Structures are given as structure tokens and as C-alpha cells.
Amino acid sequence: MPSSSQSQQRRRRRPTCTCSRLIAVLAFLLLSHAPSLSFAVDRSKFRTCAQTSFCRRHRNGHSASLYRYKLTEWKFHEYKKTSAAQGTSAAAAGEEEVKADGTDAHQQQKQQQQQSEAGADPDAADAGTGTGTGGGLWNSVVSRVLGKSAPGDRSGGGPLDPYVRGPAASLTATLINTSPTTSTGVGESLNLDVRLHSDGVARVRITERYGTSASAYESARWTSDELILNEEEMVGADDAEIVTSTARPTSRDGDDEQSDNGNNNNNNNIKQKQEDDKALLTELVGTVFTATPDQPQADLDNYVALRYGGADHVLLLRLEPFSFYLFRRGGSGAGESSYGMPIVTVGERGLAHFELRRARDDDSSAGADADATNTDDGENSDAVLMDDDDYIPPDDDDDEEEREAAAASGGEEGDKHGGKEIVGYWEDGLAIYADGTREERPVEDEAEAEHRKLLEEQSPDLDREGLWEESFGGHTDSKPYGPTSVGMDIKFPGSSHLYGLPEHASSTVLQTTHGAGAKYHDPYRLYNLDVFEYELDETMALYGEVPLVISHSVAGGTAGIFWFNPTETFVDVYGPDDDGGIGDAAGHGTTTHFMSESGIVDLFLLPGPDPHTIYAQYGRLTGRVSLPPMFSLGYHQCRWNYRDEPDVYAVHAKFEELDYPYDVLWLDIEHTDGKRYFTWDSNVFPNPVAMQQKLDSQGRRMVTIVDPHIKRDNNYYIHKEATAKGLYVKDKSGTKDYDGWCWPGSSSYLDFTANKVRSWWADQFAYDRYRGSTPALFTWNDMNEPSVFNGPEVSMQKDLRNLAGVEHREWHNLYGLLFHRSTASGLIRRNPDKNIRPFVLSRSFFAGSQRYGAIWTGDNAAEWSHLEAAAPMLLSLNVGALSFVGADVGGFFGDPDAELMTRWMQAGAYTPFFRGHAHHDSKRREPWMFGDETMIRLRKAAMARYALLPFWYSTFREAGVTGMPVMRTMWMEYPQTEPLFAIDDQYLIGSDLLVKPITAPGVTQTTVLFPTADRWYDVDTMAIVSKEGESNGVLSITVDSDIDKIPVYQKGGSIIARKLRLRRSARLMKSDPYTLYIALDGENKAKGSLYMDDEETFSHEHDGEYGVAEFSVSLGGNDGLIENKVALGPGWEDERAKDSLLA
């Protein structure tokens, strides 16, 4: 149980009061002695699906009847082998265009261009914008600066989408909503394009039509390609070909000059091509078509396919009803030469939806659709056109709602605060009053609960709430574009194990959320939030998100999807037996249903076929983990807060005295001058430079916290300059700087979506700007979801605007990543040669955060259940390609006893990021605080970590090259061993160490599942524990695991390098010798590698200054062979350079 002050003062820091009166000070004193509360999230602060209009509207197929799509007027763009750079237009790139009717699109180019410019031709090709000359950057500049598209690339009759990056489109088309009753009440059409990558990835984008006389808006929906995607490595497939059931020309130029024989050959080629295409379509369609009495056979004309990647991959599109299927040669149930069942099916259940932007009252902005889309009372037609008699209004008091809304913004006396003066807010969003009391947690009214249940259960044609504005927790979200949700169902045939969608405090395997017997009632929510006192075994949102799902099965191998949409998203998981009533032919499999509040449908299909390949594919999309500096892989000692310089020196000296290894000492926000970041409280840290230099001289670094909220104080140089330069996020009008509440009190928030803001922020880390900083000081980014204590769900209002006028709802989940990225850039930029690797820890994240530093799991508790949850959470993050991750050792809240602290230190030593941290109300818990016996155990765990630093460093290097996670689920290395697929209480570090943390009290023995494809050695004794057996088998063995032992095993056939000299930091180990631990396999062979560089600069990337040693051992009879082959980078081929760097 938490202490009284801990539970009332909330998660991390005492609230800041801007009122100078004594009564406000008394308020804090009174609250510090309030009754204690147990650890439990205040659920009233965070929305569920049932409280979220777009999720309620589209979940369970409620809106399916409003969205029935047909793909039409498709056009194929065939790259010639000598194609120009990606991103150019079809004609400029030397493409051949084939239309749906098989004719040459270039023959009608002039006519199409005229129609396109008139806004009448939905067929005009969008060849995409990408890398290379004439590509995305140039087109983007033209479009944004001149307000028109660059020549050649148009989409659906409108201008170029200025945001898309990467390979050009291989197929463009129009999607028509054929439902007799659409969500807008009028006809709806969308643009679709398919972009194929050379590694087998397929990207399908569905966007609004814009910039034409038939559309209401002149601009595309904002998307974030250039902020997230790894454009340099996204290479288009130059061998894509169209597969249809009808003949089409295969050559164009010079036809008139061909001989009769040539024409005959060409005709024969066309005939053979048609026969081959028909045979392929017959094979593919046969796996997905379900016969009915009305249609006993499939109509091949209703399908078109794209074959690419050396013919190893096929994307099959069904025209009506629209759906698509990804096939991989040798897929589920197939031989090596055929495709078998699809590995991913999309849209099969008919759950696709795309709500178009629309104008509510302004006819002038609604274009040609204005009259049709607005009802007589000015309210836009919502789910379907209906009679008012059908509408069930909520049982609430509108006047009371208005009063509550006014109260949230400091309104009238009769508000929910009872007229009390608000002097601050807790992190959970509850107000602090000047009289020393605090706002109570609200209790949901029974009538409201009943109404919410009704909304969840009733059909969407009765649910008009939340279309044009939505209220929650006293906050109202205006929606100037109306409902803009998008969604899609995605199935993995033959698979019963899905992984991904971090971050949630739940198992690594995704559990069902839909249907009878579902594990969870609510879908997984992806919306970055500061969730105070989060609970375990939940689908509710936490600090970050990666919308990546990986499927794995024995028959189908590994496949995945990346739902590239950073808006609030809910994901339902349907079990293999929950077919949604459609009885699809693609067989049993697990289905996900993605529902996002806004954005576009931008879906990357990752074909695998194995874990290593799929992470290489994903790495080319979002980047791979950056190699961290060696010191950051050591132990980090943190607390909120080390009080002053004497406290820092005392802690450091005790580590020195006990020969206890550590590398970094951390300072929380109390080190600052009144929560003004980049400053120091001179009363307690008068000589920060000398302090850092002292620790640096003994091989240690320091970290200080820098959060994104900026204190609104005109005497604070950061705020003064940011205001003058106009760098803050704006209110919903787009004119005033947003004012929210966080640790400093009244705060503003920088707009990190803007490049100029990111660059300005990076400049603040310069040594002459951040006074008191040195090269030995690194950074911790917290509260970057962003956290706003008095905002909805403890975050920003969704209708705030960035500097480009884009609403916060569109980029909310990117904020933490962009802040993290900007900070990392600042730590690089502050050094003249920009050659020192940064270290930045972030709480919030998105896809691609692996490129910028470490992530931790937030504010856990000193409880056995949180230790048990740590491994599944960290594995889930690694499934999302976030490798440099950890959980606070000992738990942030509360006070661990000696046993829990020991077990957590042992477990933490075998996780990628290794930090101990504690709340300011927790007892001091430095390793020596638990007595000598426990200190020795804790030191032993830390020493094991330091001995393995060469192995950790080499594994991170592998992750940076291949994309494979550092901390791996068992199935990643044993993809054919099904008993391991759901295991998340043991895991692998790289491929060679198996770890089984002890997560319960009083344990002296535990059970480990050993893959029998390999033998396993105990790392402490190097005794064989498990020998080889069946190639895909598992052996369950009970092993000893008393308080001095964490079960860790080295795989037979591996060689792991260690450093065994006891040192007090990683830097002091730099020149120490290596010791090789050789674990022979059943054939008395082993191999391994060791990566080496200077451990702190970018010279390994910039100058090729590195070396890789490849070890191999083969013993037989009375002789054997031991080899060490060293490959040096070009910068280390000069031995003198290598020797000087290692000295």
C-alpha cells in the first residue's frame, strides 16, 4: 500500500502553485496528510470505446451497411527495367500504363489531362512522390509554396498529395461507396493507390478526393510520411506486373515496323500470357471465393492481381465488394512453387469505412455537396438519413452540461468546483483549491451509465452523439470537419497468435476483445496518455503506441501489418472461431479491426516469411535501433529526487566504496529553478559543472530531466524566446498560444511537428545556452504524451492547432517521438564535430522511436505483480521494434522489501535498459539500504550485467543492422516450435541467452521450457542442463532458483564474449581483455561474433572505424580447430588508428 503522502501527492512531483498567498501553501500541507488511497487508475479520467463516438459508431459492424465499396477505373503503371528514379510521374519514369479495359492509357493522355484539370477524371494516375530527382521533396515544395501540384502527378483528378513519400504507385483506382444510404447522404468516392516495394512489402493508401469541383476541400488530409518513414530505404519493385483475366497489349513502341513473324510471336506471347494469368487468378481466387446458391462460381473479371518481387508475392484485389489479399509463394498450405492460402486478407468482413470531411453550416466551404450534405436545421446528416422520431436523446440536462463545460474553463460560481478558487492541478487532472481541499474523483451517474450502455448497444442510425462535437470529463471537443474516422478489418488466415500493438499492461500475445468468451470487453486502445497508477491486464492506453501487428503460425510463417495512422485508434481482436457471420473461404484465422478517429487508410503489408525477414522489412520502413553509447548499457541510479550536491556526492562515494558498478546518476525535476528546464536551482546545485566533472573523472555520467511543457514566465528565457518566435501549439482558433497546466503550473507546449521548432529546441542544448551542462550530461524526456494536468484525459484538447493549422487529433501520438527526436538532435548538435552519440530516455513513443534512444514502461509499482508484468510488456515493445527498453527496477511507487528488490535487480540486469528509480515518498533504496547480505546479491546481479556488456553491445549492433529485436520472444528464434508461441515469462537476449526471471516471493525452484533443437548450459556453472532432442520439441525442466540464482542459459553452439575484471563503470572496462565462453553443440561445434568500436562516437558509421571478430570452434577426436577471423572497417584498416582509439 502507498503511504498517505504518496497517494495524495500523486505520481511523481508535488503540484506547483502559482498563488503566493499563505492559504495556498497550507493547502499542500493539509493534503500531504490526507487519508491514503490504494493503487488504482482513476478510470473516470480516461475514455473507453463506449464513451468514444467514432469507436461506438463503427464497432461490431454497426456501420457496415453504410460503406460498401467497389474498386473501379483502375490503372496499372508498369515500370520499365530502365525506369527513372522513384517518385516521378508515370510518363516521365518511362512507365507503361494499362487501364482496366486493357487499353493503353497513354493514347488518351491529352484528353485525360484536360479532364483531370477540369476535375472530371477520377482515373488520372497518381504515380506517387518519393526519393530521387523529381521526387517527393520537390513536388512537396511546389505544392505547398505555389498551391498546386507538380507536373505529372495527380490523384483522382485532384492535385498531388503533398505528404506521401516513397515508391511510386503501381496501381491507382477509384473506390466508390455503392451503399444506398451513405454516411453523408450522398454519393461518396475515394482515391486508392498501391505501392509495391522490392522486398515484398505492399502499401495500400486510401485517401479523400480533394482539389476538384466535386470535393468539398482543396487540401489533402495531413499525414506524416516525412516525419516517420525511412524513405531512403523504401525501394520500389521494378518487376511488378498486372494479372487479369483479359488480354492486353504487351508492347507499344515500333509496332508498325514489326514483321509478320514478329506480330505472330507477339500474339502468341499475348495468348500465353493470358492463359498463365487466368491460371494464376483461378488458383488465387479459388482460395478466397465462397460459393453461394446465387453464385456457384467465381467471376474472374471481378479480380485483378499484382505480381512482384521475383513473382514471390501477389496482391489480389477483389473489385466488388472491395477487398484484397496478400499471397506469398510457399505460403500456408502451399508447396514452394505455389501460393496456397493468403497470409493477410483485408476488407473481407466488410468493416471498411472512411468518413469524409464535410462542412457543418458553411455552404460556401462545402462545394457542390453542401446542399446535399446538410439537413434543414443546419446539422450534417450523420449515420443515415432518418426520421427524428427514431432518435433517442440522452437522459441529461443540457443546462447542467453547459455549466460543467464552463467550469472546466474557470466558469460560473455554480460549477462543479462549488465556486472554490483553483490554485493548481494534480497529475490525475483533479483540481487543488485555495482552502486546502482537493476535487474529489467523480462518480458516474447511474443515468449516464445507463445511457452510455444504450449507446454502445443500439444501432448507429440512433447514435447521433459526437458527430460535430463531443464532451468528456467537462471538456468539449469541437469538430469543424465533422466525423472523419477510418477503419478496416484485417485477417491473418490460419493464425491464432498475434503480437504487437504496444503499449499495454497485458500479455505479449494479443487477446480477444470481441465475441463470446473474449478475454477483454474493450478493444485495445492506442492513444498516448499519462495514466496515473496504471492497472495490469488491461487494454487501456498507456504512454506510447506502435500500430504494428505481427502474426505467426507454423504453417503460414510470419506476416504483419503496419497501420500507419497516428490518430486515436481502437483495435478489436476476433478469435479464430469468430468469423463475424461471413463464413469466408480463407479459413480460420485471427482478425483485427482497426478504427481510427481521423487520418487516412495507410496500410503496409509485411509478407515475412520469417521473423528475421519481417523485421528487416519493417526496419526499411521506420528505421532500426541506433547503436547506443556503451555507458548507457550499464546500470543507472535514479530517484525523485537527489536533494543537492552533497547528496549526489554521497551516493556516488558509496558506490565507489562498495565497488558497486554503475554508470549514470540521474536528477529529476527538483534540480531546476522552479521547474524551468535548462536551469539549475542554485541553492542546492550551485556548482553543476564541477559536480559533473567530478563524476566524469571517475567514469560516470549524469542525466537531467527536460520535459516539453514550458513555464509561462516572461522572465524565463526559453518561454520568452519561444513566444517571440511563435513556436507554441495554438488554441483551437489557431491564434493564441495554448495554456495548459503541468509541473511548473501554467505552461505552453512547443509544436514539434514543425521543423523550425525542432531545430530551435535542439539549439537549446548548446553549452552556452544550457548553462551548467557539460559533455558528460545527457537527457531524460518525460511527460511527453503530452501530459496536461487540466486537459481532457490529462492531455491536450484534440481541436488545438499546430503552426500549420492541423488539429492536434491528427498528430497526437507523434508528439512524444518528435520531442525525443529533437532532444537527441540537440545532444548531437551541441558538440562541434557532432560526432558524439546521444543518450535520451523517453516515456512516450511511436513507430520509429527506436532511432532516437531508450524507452521505459513508466510509473510501475513495487509489487510482485508489476515485476511479473515487466517481461511481457518489454517483449511487446520489442515486437514493435523498440529494443532499448526497460522497467524501473524496484518499482516506482512504494517500498520493495529485500526479496523483491533482489529479484527485480536480477531481472533488470537481463533487460536492455537497466535503471533503478523511485518516487520521492518511497524510502531510500540505493543497494546498500537493504543490508550487507542483500547488497552483495544486488552487486552480483549488476556484475553479471557488466561482464556481459560486450555481448549486449554486439547484440545491439546486430539489431541496428538487421532490425531484429534485442530482447526476443521465444518463437522469434524457434518459429516451428508451437508450444513456445504464447510464452512471455521467459525470453531470449539475441539468439544465445535464455532468461527466466523469478517474479514471485519465496521461490526456490522454477520451470523452464527448453527448445530441444539446441542444448543449453547454465551460465554460472556452464553445466549442460538440457540436451538436443526433437527439432521442434520443448523440454520442461524444473531448475533451482533460490534467492541467489536467476535462471539464465547459454545456447549450445554459441560463443559469447565477456569481460571479467571487476570495474566500477563501463568506461573503465574499455581496455580490458575479453574472455570467450564456448558452449559446444551436439557436434562439438560453436560460433559467435564480437563487435568493437570506440563505444561513444559515430565514427563507426561516418569513418568505418570498427571491427567484427567471428569466432568458430570445431572439436573432434584428439584434435580440433579454433578460428578468429577479424574484419575491420575501412577506418580501422590502419592499425595505428585502431590502437589509438582502443587505448
Say what the pLDDT of residue 533 is.
86
What are the pLDDT digits (tens) for 846-882? 999 999 999 999 999 999 999 999 999 999 999 999 9
Burial class (CB in 10 A: 0-12, 13-18, 19+), 723: middle
Q: Tell me, what amino acid is at 356?
A: L
pLDDT of residue 493: 94
pLDDT tens for each residue of 435-444:
778 787 666 5
What residues contact 388, with CB distance under 8 A and at least 6 apart?
A: none
Report the pLDDT averaged over residues 413-422. 70
Give the pLDDT score at 246: 84
CB atoms within 10 A of CB 1058: 17
CB 65 within 8 A of CB 181: yes
- Quote the CA–CA distance of 645 and 671 in Å, as a whole number: 10
pLDDT at 331: 72
Give the per-residue pLDDT at 176.
97
Tens digit of pLDDT for each residue in 717-771?
999 999 999 999 999 999 999 999 999 999 999 999 999 999 999 999 999 999 9
Residue type, 632: S
Which pLDDT belongs to residue 883?
A: 98
**Closest to 54 in 3D by CA, of 383, 518, 478:** 383
* Single pTM value for the model: 0.87
> Over the stretch 142-165, which tens digit does the pLDDT of each residue have?
333 233 333 334 444 556 788 999
- Distance, CA of 183 to CA of 863 (rounded, Å): 49
Q: Give the mean pLDDT of 59-79.
A: 93
- End-to-end distance of the chain based on CA atoms, in angstroms? 51
1036 Cβ partners below 8 Å, 6+ apart? 1007, 1008, 1009, 1010
Q: Starting from the edge strand earliest in sequence, which strands make up the sheet with 777-781, in order?
A: 885-886, 854-856, 840-842, 777-781, 701-705, 664-667, 635-637, 914-916
The label of the residue with cell 522454477 reads 1006
Please list the helix, strand and coil fractions of the chain in percent, rounded to the nearest 5, in that order: 25, 20, 50
Distance (Å, whole) CA 249 – CA 159: 29
Beta strands in 972-1084 (DSSP E): 987-989, 993-995, 1005-1011, 1016-1018, 1024-1026, 1034-1040, 1048-1051, 1054-1058, 1075-1079
CA distance 1059 to 516: 54
Query: Could you give the angle at the alpha carbon of 418 between the alpha carbons of 416 and 422, nearest 5°?
Result: 85
Picking from 85, 127, 124, 132, the residue whose alpha carbon sits closest to that of residue 108 is 124
544-581: pLDDT as tens digits:
999 999 999 999 999 999 999 999 999 999 998 887 65
Strand partners, 318: 303, 323
> Which has the minimum average pLDDT: 66-80, 376-390, 791-805, 889-903?
376-390
- Please state, in angstroms and rounded to a whole number, the distance separating the CA atoms of residues 741 and 510: 35
Mean pLDDT value across residues 691-697:
98
Q: Look at residue 979 in the predicted model and tell me its pLDDT.
A: 97
Residue 38 pLDDT more than 90? Answer: no
Give DSSP secondary structure letters for 1083-1140: TSEEEEEEEES-SSBSHHHHS---EEEEEEEEEETTEEEEEEEEEE-GGGSSHHHHHH
Q: List, by residue number, the catalytic residues.
A: 782, 785, 859
Per-residue pLDDT, 376: 32
Q: Do the Cβ atoms of 1048 and 1074 come closer than 8 Å?
A: no
Q: Residue 454 contacts by C-beta under 8 Å, 6 or more apart in sequence?
A: 392
- Work out the number of other CB atoms within 10 angstroms of the CB of residue 890: 25
d(CA 823, CA 782): 12
DSSP code per residue over 1045-1072: ---EEEETTEEEEE--S--SSSGGGTTP
CA-to-CA dists, residue 384 to 66, 181, 321, 975, 1127, angstroms:
8, 6, 20, 47, 67
Q: Confidence class of residue 273 from pLDDT cuts 50, 70 and 90?
A: confident
Place of cell 494534480: 426
Helix (H) or strand (E) holding 570: strand 569-574
Return the pLDDT at 1133.
84
Q: What are phi and psi of 208, to 5 degrees?
A: -70, 155
Report yes or no: 788 and 741 within 8 Å, Cβ to Cβ.
yes
Confidence of residue 455 (pLDDT cuts 50, 70, 90): low
Cβ neighbours of 35 (radius 10 Å): 7
- How confident is the model over 126-145, as pLDDT tens digits? 323 333 323 333 333 333 32
CA gap 718, 764 in Å, rounded? 8
pLDDT for residue 373 is more than 60:
no
Q: 486-493 and 589-596 as β-strands: parallel, antiparallel, unpaired?
A: antiparallel
8-22, 446-460, 610-624: lowest mean pLDDT where? 8-22
